[in-house]
Structure 1
Amino acid sequence: MFGLANPQRFMAFTRPLVPLLWAAAGVLLALGAWFSFTAPEDYQQGDTVRIMFVHVPAATLGLGAYAALGVSSFFALVFRHALADAAARAAALPGAAFTLLALITGSLWGKPMWGTWWVWDARLTSVFILFLFYLGYMALRAAIDDEARAARSAAVLGLVGLINLPIVRFSVDWWNTLHQRASLIRADGPSIDGAFLPALLTMMAAYGALFLALWITGIRTEVDRRRVVAARARAAAGA
């Protein structure tokens, strides 16, 4: 793993990996969509239950992407590692997209189930704050012209945002919320009906492969961009 911290080794290792991840994501998304549409209706939610197959993976990857951003920010800030900074930057946009998708699909599910599009309960509010951290991270990087200063400032914000992750995860256990408790990852096993598990697990695997494909592609693109910038700087200095 630490050998891949070298940008040249990372680029060589991930070159054949990226198309495999994109292919896996495409196949899993197609399979997950088929499972989702062929799953039975829920006895209470009816066809609305199918929103869960998009919402739950999106929310999970929104959290996972920020964890990747935060850990990468730590290595970038403490060890001043350029590849770690590239990894943090590459995780921001897909993580924000997954989190926004979770917020939208949660609202679409909440209206027929709860009778309202939105409530400021602990889970919904903490996920919205997570989305704001993503936006703040990207805005901070864009607002500072000096790339080194932008990286350090954004890394600090990325680390601060990690505090919100356990709040999102355990908010339904710590407070009384309208949002239901976890039904998939539980100490006593999943409480969700087995008829919905193939669709949900396949979609979660598909979203995971999609995030890895987006993330690694983003890191590779950032490495290439920095190489071009460095080459132009050397050429300007030589001129």
Structure 2
Amino acid sequence: MDTSPRTLAAAPPAPGRLHRFANPGRFLRLTDAWLLPLAVAAALTLGGAAAWALFLAPPDWQQGETVRIMFVHVPMAWLAMGGYLGLAILSVMSLIWRHPLADLAARELSPVGAAVTALCLATGSLWGKPMWGTWWVWDARLTSVLVLFFLWLGHAALVRAFDDIERGARMGAILALVGVVNLPVVKFSVDWWNTLHQPASVTRAAAPGMHVDMLFPLLACTIGFGLAFAAVVLAGTRAAVMERRVRALQMAAARRMEAVAP
């Protein structure tokens, strides 16, 4: 049990309106109201997007049916990078403003982020074998995403490596902020170096890089996976808050029994 002053019961104020969400009771009430609709929206969106991507979207004239891997690979890549940016924001909130829920959310976020990054690498390898003739190359984009995967794993391991929960959260936050320098490398590696990986096609402004028949189901898949990502992280954070509160009650009950014991 974390017995440091930085507990959920007595959270120091954060700037602006963030201090409202440092209250565990308010957080639990909010997630109790929004978690189920979020999960239902994720399931419905993913179901419709999967049908759209697998059965209605046309095959690519060069890649054929292999292009359908993109409908999982690209959302996983975006979630891996966007999730890590969220981890960095939580780390700033933890280190500067001592936001207690930021520690719990970051702790629950890193395993989910590692999972989506692993899916990004796996689906990229599945696509690379028929397109490049190999499962893996030490390409700048692939290597930087692999580094991102190890950063996710490192954070997940580091925050759980200390008996002192606050110290583990602090070390994990420092690692997360150091790892932010890898995000521009992942994003711009295809522009900075001559790589096998194709350049950005969705966000190109000069000319459309993807037909709308593929772009729209891709965006639908991204929304569905994003909603599912958020639902999983919120559910994990909610469970962590409840576990922390139960432990606090158990410790308080134990202390009372010791106080009245003859």
- Of the candidates 70, 77, 93, which is equivalent to residue 111 of structure 2? 93
Given that 1:86 and 1:223 are in contact with CA atoms closer than 8 Å, whether structure 2 keeps it comes out as yes
User: In 1, Cα distance between the equivalents of 2:103 and 2:206?
Assistant: 39
Cα RMSD (Å) of the superposition?
A: 1.3
Contact 1:35–1:198 (Cα < 8 Å) also in 2? no
* Conserved? CA contact 2:22–2:100, under 8 Å: no
The Cα offsets for residues 54-101 of structure 1, whole Å up to 9 and x where unpaired, read as: 000011101111111111011111122111111111211111111000
Counterpart position of 2:23: 6
Aligned positions, number: 239
Find the counterpart in structure 2 of residue 20 from structure 1.
37
CA distance in 1, matches of 2:229, 2:83: 8
Q: 2:38 corresponds to which letter in structure 1?
A: L
Aligned ranges for residues 75-154 of structure 1 at < 5 Å?
Answer: 75-154=93-172
Deviation at 1:187, TM superposition (A): 3.0
C-alpha displacement at 1:174, in angstroms?
1.2
- Between 142-151 and 49-58, the greater mean CA deviation after superposition: 142-151
Contact 1:70 1:158 in 2 (8 A): yes
**1:188 is aligned to 2:206:** yes
> For the Cα contact (< 8 Å) 2:201–2:209, is it kept in 1?
yes
Q: How much has 1:237 moved relative to structure 2?
A: 2.2
Describe the shift of the 1:188–1:222 C-alpha distance in structure 2 as closer, same or farther (beyond 3 A). farther
* Aligned AA (2:107): R
Q: Retained in 2: the 8 A contact 1:69–1:89? A: no
* Structure 2 residues without counterparts, runs of 5 or longer: 1-16
Which is further off, 199-208 or 224-233?
224-233
1:52 paired to 2:70? yes
Identity %: 51
In structure 2, what residue type is equivalent to 1:30?
G
CA distance in 2 between counterparts of 1:64 and 1:195 reads 25
Q: Do the aligned partners of 2:42 and 2:228 also contact (CA within 8 Å) in 1?
A: yes
Task: Using the TM superposition, name which of 142-151 and 46-55 deviates more.
Answer: 142-151
Does structure 1 residue 69 correspond to structure 2 residue 80? Answer: no
Larger radius of gyration: 2
SS in 2 for 1:142: coil
2:8 paired residue number? none
Q: Which residue of the partner structure matches residue 4 of structure 2?
A: none
The runs of 5 or more residues in structure 1 that have no matched partner are: none
- Summarize the Cα distance change of 1:215–1:114 in structure 2 as closer, same or farther, 3 Å threshold: same
What is the match of residue 9 of structure 2? none
Cα offsets for 1:39-61 (capped at 9, x unmatched): 11111000000000000001110
Q: CA deviation at 1:189?
A: 5.8
CA distance in structure 2 between the aligned counterparts of 1:63 and 1:132, rounded to whole angstroms: 13
Equivalent residues in 2 for 1:198-209 (5 A)?
198-209=216-227
Secondary structure of the structure 2 residue equivalent to 1:43:
coil
Q: Which amino acid letter does the alignment assign opposite residue 134 of structure 1?
A: W
Give the structure with the larger helix fraction.
1
- Could you state the TM-score of these two structures normalised by the residue count of structure 1? 0.96
Matched residue, 2:187 = 169
Of residues 59-68 and 185-194 in structure 1, the stretch that sits farther from structure 2 once superposed is 185-194
2:6 paired residue number: none
Distance 1:81 1:66 in 2: 18
Give the corresponding residue for 2:228. Answer: 210
C-alpha distance in 1 between matches for 2:207 and 2:82? 21
